[in-house]
Amino acid sequence: MKMKNYIPALLFIVFCSTASAQTEKGNIVLSGKTDMNFLLSKTTAGTDSVQTGKSNSQQFSATAGVGYFIANNLSFGVSGTYSYSYSKDESYYSSASITESYTILPQLQYYFPLEDKLKPFAGIGVGYVFLQERDSRATTNNNKVYSLSGPAFSGVLGASYFITRSVSFDLNLQYIYGRLKDKMWEGQIQKQQQLGGNMGISVFF
């Protein structure tokens, strides 16, 4: 009879230990996410019978990262982000522009130790951004309008919901500040501030 009394307590201890195992020291996390600004659009202009112009645009961003838990609930990782934006206007003079950026961001991320499937987290990071724009109207420098690079600083708040013991669905809000110098035009500096939402999936080992 006494053994039966111990079984529920033992099961509770095992459950709690497996629930927190994902973010224990020594574990590895792989993550992938995309922003919530994915966009495909097409616009036409004119009358009912005559089309005088049209425009198309595409926009998306994707991030992949890996992290190592240097302490319980605290990971150090590196992520890479690729962003792409394309627009084409055929209203009067046909033109097209493409903006691409690459971001490398080492960061620290802390998971708040709640005994639940939902784990809030916060993180900070310092990295580097490369950004360039090409426009068909530019006739020099291989259609480049500008080519920028510089340091970036990041802060993130979010939450992970563990679908299984080793897989989580993630939502977060991220702020990035960058101070980029133009390689093509000496003395030109561009300061960027971005605030956006992201969603993704993480796998813990």
> CATH code at 188?
2.40.160.20
CA neighbor of 111 nearest in space, from 95, 122, 124: 122
User: Measuring CA to CA, how many Å separate 24 from each of 10, 112, 115, 163?
Assistant: 20, 12, 13, 18
Indicate the SS3 state at residue 12: helix
By residue range, what is the domain housing residue 176? 2-204
Specify the pLDDT at position 110: 96
Q: What is the 3-state secondary structure (H, E, C) of 110-125?
A: EECCCCCCEEEEEEEE
9-23 per-position pLDDT tens digit: 433 333 444 444 588
Specify the pLDDT at position 113: 85
The DSSP H or E segment spanning 11 is helix 2-20
- Residue 70, pLDDT > 90, answer yes
Q: How many CB atoms lie within 10 A of CB 32?
A: 14
Q: Are 82 and 62 in contact (CB under 8 A)?
A: yes
Read off the pTM.
0.72
**Number of folded domains in the chain?**
1
Percentage of the chain lying above the pLDDT 70 cut: 76
CB neighbour class for 181 (10 Å; exposed up to 12, middle 13-18, buried from 19): middle
